């Protein structure tokens, strides 16, 4: 297969229509309507809407979603205007505020299902070919073309493309020739659910570090989205508690700042690890979003980093001639453009998880000191806020 035979089925095939894959497709459809883009998504739209995850979007991700025209279509967006950071059982606290940062909000909390609903609606109207219920079983890199094998309506298909972007969330396609998956298991899992509190949230988020792992309360609608991390055995106990038992143990764990916890929605859990794919490109193939890196949710970096992957890849594709799409030079530029942000985000998240989730007395005091210093040094706050919002490139 070569260029002159013109045997490509598409310029870009995107495997996975999650937030990262869908963002890439929309950015390409808007930037170059003549490009042939195919999105293969395993789930149907209705199935995607049942997902109960809650996502914290940074202000930088809002800018990306604005540019692809999806932001104004989102329902149930709750702004975060302040973040209160503390550690349990020790001194030291810091508050980051949108006002100090000169922004309308530090971030936004949104149900994953709501974001998916808006992205899917936009995908159906854009120029990309959007195939739901398409289960990809294999992607094969290749110098002439990358191939994608999938089943749809009981029939098997193979497509050839100048470039395949793998955005499957890193959970389904494990055997990519030449790609290694590194994994650091944190021996932590997260309990997630919606809770309501005695006091209104006033758009204040909490990040509370404890020796068992961080706990976050993110303002969501009238209540909070809770992410409570602990060792897997402890998480199993938490999931098995009655609602009254759960609310009282959450109060003991989290403290009194929001008064009592009044109600909790259905609880679910997910394991936490750091997973990195290496390398993130092969011939005419690129891994983006959670397929490339899966982070601990402590600093809310992973999802936002995935959107920046999609945005940067769209810029690289749109910036080259169609025949250069998927070529080595384009992929090298993409990798170079993402290196600092990805490595910085992984380092920062890993440092937070390992530095704050242990019982060493000296470290506890150092953490308290670090939080106190952060609280009183505006330039340091501004540095931290910019990185939370825009990634390691600030
Ligand atoms: C259980 C869980 C809970 C999470 N909770 C939070 C949270 O509370 N807060 C937060 O900020 N982040 C959370 N995250 C992380 C966040 O969801 C991810 O960072 C984000 O969804 C990554 O987007 P993505 O598009 O790369 O992958 P995904 O959102 O996983 O999307 C991947 C898409 O690919 C499709 N797909 C998968 N395999 C195939 C295949 N073989 N063929 C075709 N399509 C396929 C899937 O159906 C899906 O639509 C959580 C992640 C998980 C796994």
Round to whole Å and give the CA distance between 23 and 20. Answer: 5
User: What six digits make up the tokens of 373?
Assistant: 């210093």
pLDDT digits (tens, 9 = 90+) for 348-393: 777 777 766 665 566 666 666 666 666 656 666 666 666 665 555 5
Hey, whose CA ends up nearest to atom 19 of ligand 1?
A: 303
pLDDT of residue 291: 96
Distance 329 CA to ligand 1 centre (A): 29
Which ligand 1 atom sits nearest the alpha carbon of residue 173? 41
Distance 307 CA to ligand 1 centre (A): 12
User: What six digits make up the tokens of 232?
Assistant: 């897997």
pLDDT of residue 383: 66
Round to whole Å and give the CA distance between 266 and 44. Answer: 23
Mean pLDDT confidence for 9-26: 97
Round to whole Å and give the CA distance between 299 and 56. Answer: 9
In the predicted structure, residue 175 carries a pLDDT above the cut 90: no
Choose the residue to mutate in 61, 169, 291 for probing ligand 1, maximizing ligand atoms within 8 Å of C-beta.
169
* DSSP category for residue 179: -
pLDDT of residue 348: 75
* DSSP category for residue 199: S
Choose the residue to mutate in 110, 156, 290 for probing ligand 1, maximizing ligand atoms within 8 Å of C-beta.
290
pLDDT digits (tens, 9 = 90+) for 85-96: 887 766 667 888
Distance 51 CA to ligand 1 centre (A): 10
Which ligand 1 atom sits nearest the alpha carbon of residue 289? 26
> Coil, strand, or helix at residue 140?
strand
DSSP letter string, 324-336: GTTSHHHHHHHHH
Give me the half-sphere count of Cα atoms (radius 13 Å) on the Cβ side of residue 24: 34
Measure the CA dihedral 48/303/169/326, to 10°: 120
| Strand partners of residue 217 | 206, 226
Round to whole Å and give the CA distance between 251 and 262. Answer: 10
Give just the sign of the alpha carbon dihedral 298, 301, 304, 307. negative
Hey, whose CA ends up nearest to atom 35 of ligand 1?
A: 16
Judge contact between 29 and 126, C-beta under 8 A: yes
Hey, whose CA ends up nearest to atom 29 of ligand 1?
A: 18
Which ligand 1 atom sits nearest the alpha carbon of residue 43? 47
Secondary structure (H, E, C), 34-47? CCCEEEEECCCHHH
Pocket residues: Cβ below 6 A from ligand 1: 15-21, 40-43, 53-56, 134-136, 167-169, 172-173, 192, 227, 270, 289-290, 297, 300, 302-303, 306
Distance 126 CA to ligand 1 centre (A): 22
Distance 177 CA to ligand 1 centre (A): 22
Nearest alpha carbon to residue 273 among 382, 377, 188 = 188
In the predicted structure, residue 160 carries a pLDDT above the cut 90: yes
pLDDT digits (tens, 9 = 90+) for 265-323: 999 998 888 889 999 999 999 999 999 998 887 767 788 999 999 999 999 999 999 99
Domains and CATH numbers, the chain: 10-77+111-182+274-356 (3.50.50.60)
Distance 234 CA to ligand 1 centre (A): 25
In the predicted structure, residue 6 carries a pLDDT above the cut 60: no
What helix, strand, coil percent values describe the chain, rounded to 5?
40, 30, 30
pLDDT of residue 1: 44
Distance 253 CA to ligand 1 centre (A): 28
pLDDT of residue 100: 83
Hey, whose CA ends up nearest to atom 52 of ligand 1?
A: 270
pLDDT of residue 344: 84
Round to whole Å and give the CA distance between 173 and 182. Answer: 15
Judge contact between 210 and 88, C-beta under 8 A: yes
> Coil, strand, or helix at residue 273?
strand
User: What six digits make up the tokens of 204?
Assistant: 């204040």
Round to whole Å and give the CA distance between 181 and 142. Answer: 20
Residues whose CB falls within 8 Å of the CB of residue 107, separated by 6 or more in sequence, listed in order: 56, 57, 58, 59, 79, 80, 205, 300, 388, 389
Round to whole Å and give the CA distance between 321 and 317. Answer: 8
H helix or E strand, kind and range, residue 233: helix 232-240
Choose the residue to mutate in 118, 303, 310, 311 for probing ligand 1, maximizing ligand atoms within 8 Å of C-beta.
303
Distance 317 CA to ligand 1 centre (A): 23
Question: What's the pTM value of the predicted model, to 2 decimals?
Answer: 0.90
* Tokens 């976050």 found at: 216
Round to whole Å and give the CA distance between 180 and 76. Answer: 38
pLDDT digits (tens, 9 = 90+) for 34-75: 999 999 999 986 555 667 788 989 888 999 999 999 999 998
pLDDT digits (tens, 9 = 90+) for 205-264: 998 888 788 888 999 999 999 999 999 999 999 999 999 999 999 999 888 889 999 999
Distance 347 CA to ligand 1 centre (A): 21
Distance 197 CA to ligand 1 centre (A): 29
Judge contact between 231 and 188, C-beta under 8 A: yes
Mean pLDDT confidence for 328-335: 98
pLDDT of residue 53: 82
């Amino acid at each position: 297969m070569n260029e002159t035979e013109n045997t490509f089925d598409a310029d870009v095939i995107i495997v996975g229509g999650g937030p990262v894959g869908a963002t890439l497709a929309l950015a390409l459809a808007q930037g170059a309507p003549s490009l042939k883009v195919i999105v293969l998504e395993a789930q149907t739209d209705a199935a995607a809407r049942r997902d109960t995850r809650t996502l914290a979007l940074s202000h930088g991700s809002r800018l990306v979603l604005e540019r692809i025209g999806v932001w104004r279509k989102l329902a149930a967006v709750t702004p975060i205007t302040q973040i209160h950071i503390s550690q349990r059982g020790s001194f030291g606290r810091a508050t980051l505020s949108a006002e100090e940062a000169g922004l309308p909000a530090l971030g936004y909390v949104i149900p994953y299902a709501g974001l998916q609903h808006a992205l899917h609606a936009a995908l159906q109207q854009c120029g990309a070919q959007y195939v739901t219920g398409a289960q990809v079983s294999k992607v094969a890199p290749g110098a002439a073309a990358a191939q994608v094998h999938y089943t749809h309506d009981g029939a098997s298909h193979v497509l050839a493309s100048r470039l395949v972007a793998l955005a499957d969330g890193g959970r389904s396609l494990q055997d990519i020739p030449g790609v290694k998956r590194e994994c650091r298991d944190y021996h932590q899992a997260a309990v997630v659910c919606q809770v309501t509190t005695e006091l209104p949230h006033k758009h204040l988020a909490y990040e509370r570090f404890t020796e068992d792992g961080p706990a976050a309360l993110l303002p969501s609608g009238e209540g909070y989205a809770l992410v409570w991390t602990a060792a897997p055995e402890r998480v199993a106990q938490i999931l098995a508690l009655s609602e009254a038992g759960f609310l009282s143990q959450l109060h003991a764990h989290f403290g009194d700042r929001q008064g009592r916890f009044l109600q909790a929605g259905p609880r679910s859990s997910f394991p936490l690890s750091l997973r990195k794919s290496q390398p993130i490109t092969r011939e005419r193939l690129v891994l983006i979003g959670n397929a490339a890196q899966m982070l601990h949710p402590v600093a809310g970096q992973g999802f936002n980093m995935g959107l920046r992957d999609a945005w940067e890849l769209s810029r690289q594709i749109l910036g080259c001639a169609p025949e250069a799409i998927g070529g080595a030079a384009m992929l090298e530029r993409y990798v170079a453009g993402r290196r600092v942000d990805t490595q910085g985000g992984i380092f920062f998240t890993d440092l937070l998880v390992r530095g704050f989730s242990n019982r060493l007395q000296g470290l506890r005091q150092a953490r308290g000191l670090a939080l106190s210093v952060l609280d009183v040094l505006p330039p340091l706050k501004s540095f931290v806020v910019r990185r939370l919002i825009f990634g390691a490139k600030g």
